[in-house]
Chain A
Amino acid sequence: SAVISQKPSRDICQRGTSLTIQCQVDSQVTMMFWYRQQPGQSLTLIATANQGSEATYESGFVIDKFPISRPNLTFSTLTVSNMSPEDSSIYLCSVEYGVRTDTQYFGPGTRLTVL
């Protein structure tokens, strides 16, 4: 599997601001995903990042709050907009290689704290 990196690894932000999280893979992948892990909780899929088109969001997540870009096959960003303390979570990107391999590999995560 390839190397997946995320920036920043952690951040502390003020409410009302926005943070953009980057996910970089060192080889081309077919699928990229963004997950949220709230404190002490399991992972919840936010959206699938589609290359060259709008992301596909899961129920309960909207583009205005979590805009996502994927300009190419190795890079994606997730923005957490107009943050509130409830957005304090770990945000993880994951990737899938090939077509319907059904196996995802995760980045190290970005730990976000909103004050």
Chain B
Amino acid sequence: GNSVTQMEGPVTLSEEAFLTINCTYTATGYPSLFWYVQYPGEGLQLLLKATKADDKGSNKGFEATYRKETTSFHLEKGSVQVSDSAVYFCALTSTGTASKLTFGTGTRLQVTL
């Protein structure tokens, strides 16, 4: 079956540090890959997505590249801000599963001054 594995949190960084949150997946067919972000007390927001191999999704300074050879979709940002503190979820949908999203366990990011 489909599964998503994320690095354990929490991740604590100083402002302006470089961020990487690792995400690997197992899926049948050709999944679409997503990063969602959940700010404290709020619902999930779509951060970025990629639908085929070598696609790069980007938004708000965050990037992730769909790597089929390593089944990975790592999230990166060159310079984090305090306002980026949130929980980040990697997720996928797989062909033939009617848009069913499979989520990773989430990684909490805490950015300090």
Contacts and interface: CB of A to CB of B under 8 A. Distances in A.
A102 B103 contact: no
A102 B100 contact: no
Contacts, number: 48
Interface residues of A, number: 22
Contact of B99 (A43, A96, A108): A96
A33 B99 CA distance: 10
A48 interface: yes
- In this complex, the member of B93, B101, B103, B105 whose beta carbon has the largest number of chain A beta carbons within 10 angstroms is B101
B98 A92 contact: no
A106 B99 contact: no
B106 A108 contact: no
Interface residues of B, number: 20
A103 B104 contact: no
A96 B93 CA distance: 12
A102 B43 CA distance: 19
Interface string B71-113: 0000000000000000001000100001111011110000000
Interface of B: 32, 34, 36, 42-46, 49, 51, 89, 93, 98-101, 103-106
Closest 6 CB pairs of A and B: A106-B44, A108-B43, A109-B43, A102-B32, A42-B103, A106-B43
Interface of A: 6, 31, 33, 41-45, 48, 92, 94, 96, 100-109
